[in-house]
Structure formats: structure tokens, C-alpha cells
Structure 1
Amino acid sequence: LASGGLLGVQSLLEGLVAGHLALTLSQLLEVVLLTLVTLLQVVLVGLELGYAGVELLDLLLEVVGQETGDVDATADGGQEDLLGLLLLFLAHAGALL
């Protein structure tokens, strides 16, 4: 998402230069600020997805612990099973978005 936003801004600036349109300082500042706001929004969405992934991991580990009779699956290494590692990876991947 971030690279797409940067490519869009780059295309906008190239179009303005190619069209011989003069950017005033305030217009250039507006473009820069809008780019920064967009990047901040992308980071915040990534953090929200990562948090949701961690919550999902905790919920699934709790369910797995209840099904196996292990009341606290997260405290005694329950995250080390294949499902736990896969969900942890997905949570981190969501945080990187």
C-alpha cells in the first residue's frame, strides 16, 4: 500500500513537471503533507491488523488448550505447535502491512 501511494505521488509530480505546470511552494507542501498523512494511515492500518492477528492467535490457542485439556496453552509452550507458529507468523505479517 505504501509503495502504491509513493508511486502515485511520483506519477503526479512527473505529470506536473512534464506538463510544464509550475508548483508553488504551498502546493508542493500540500502534496508532501498529504503523502505523509497517507503513509501514517497505512502504518496505523498495519498496526491494527497486527493487533487483530495477535488477538486471534490468543483466542485460537485458548480454544486449542480447552480441547486438549490444557487450561493455559500459551504459558507452557502451546505456541510452539505448528498451528501456533503459523498464526504467529500471520500476525507479524499483518503488523508489517
Structure 2
Amino acid sequence: MESRYQDGAYSADGWYGSLPSSIGVELTLEDDVITDVGVTTHATDPTSLDYQQRFADAVPEVVIGRPIDEVRVSELAGSSGTPDGFNDALDRIKNEASR
């Protein structure tokens, strides 16, 4: 089966919430599978920053090794908003990586 996405390293900001808030997502794709992921926190409010940091620590375990088209993160590590930002960034990366 041919890959839908080009291999490589990608990054995008994902937006969420009413403030609005954002996070940065960096990931590596190989044969449509996420082989590495990182999250850059952008929050300045201590509570929001805590949620973003906990999310950033937890997300690699749930996305690395999975096909990008099967990844849709919901509440994770107590954060219900940050996953929306991650999914937004993921959509932007998928669009950029599309063949």
C-alpha cells in the first residue's frame, strides 16, 4: 500500500479554546506512522501551563508507533482543552505532508 503522506519532520501550531490558546507540535512521519513527537508549550498562565506540560509528557506514549490517520487525542493527563490544539496541529501537519 502506498503511503498517503511524505516521510519527514513536520511542525505546526494548534489552536484551541476561547482565549485562544495554542501549543506547538513537532512530529516525524515514516510510512504514515508517527515515529517521534514533541509538544512545545505556549501558555503563560500557571494553570494552563501545568495542563500543557502534563499533556506534553503523556502524548508520546499514545501516538508514537500509530498511523497518523488513526490518531485523534481526547482528554489526556487531566487536560481536556490541549488535545483540541494537538488535533488542530495534527490536521495542519497532515495537510502539509499529503502527497
Larger Rg, first or second structure (1 or 2): 1
- TM-score of the superposed pair, with normalisation by structure 2: 0.31
Q: Which has the higher helix share?
A: 1
Higher strand share: 2
- TM-score, normalization by structure 1: 0.32
